[in-house]
Amino acid sequence: MSRIICVKKFANRLEAELAKSLLESKGIMANVSADDSGGMEMMPVQLIGGVELLVLEDRLEEALNILRV
């Protein structure tokens, strides 16, 4: 079973959501994770560690190539 891992961290939710959409358009399931109450918290995400884009470990290489990290 594959682990879920962070493929990239972003400074804001919008950038992470755009990258997620790109990956999903290429058939890679992705998820955005941030400790910001779904964007409702007013605290800057940089202070809470950024916004993570998550993928299954077995799709990491492909996701990195698409995002050109």
Domain ranges of the chain: 4-67
CB 16 within 8 A of CB 30: no
Question: What is the structure's pLDDT at 53?
Answer: 97
3-class secondary-structure state, position 42: coil
Starting at the edge strand found earlier in the chain, the sheet holding 51-56 runs: 4-10, 51-56, 30-33
CATH architecture classification, 4-67: 2-Layer Sandwich (3.30)
Question: What is the structure's pLDDT at 26?
Answer: 97
Predicted structure pTM score: 0.80
Mean pLDDT of 61-68: 96
CB 24 within 8 A of CB 30: yes
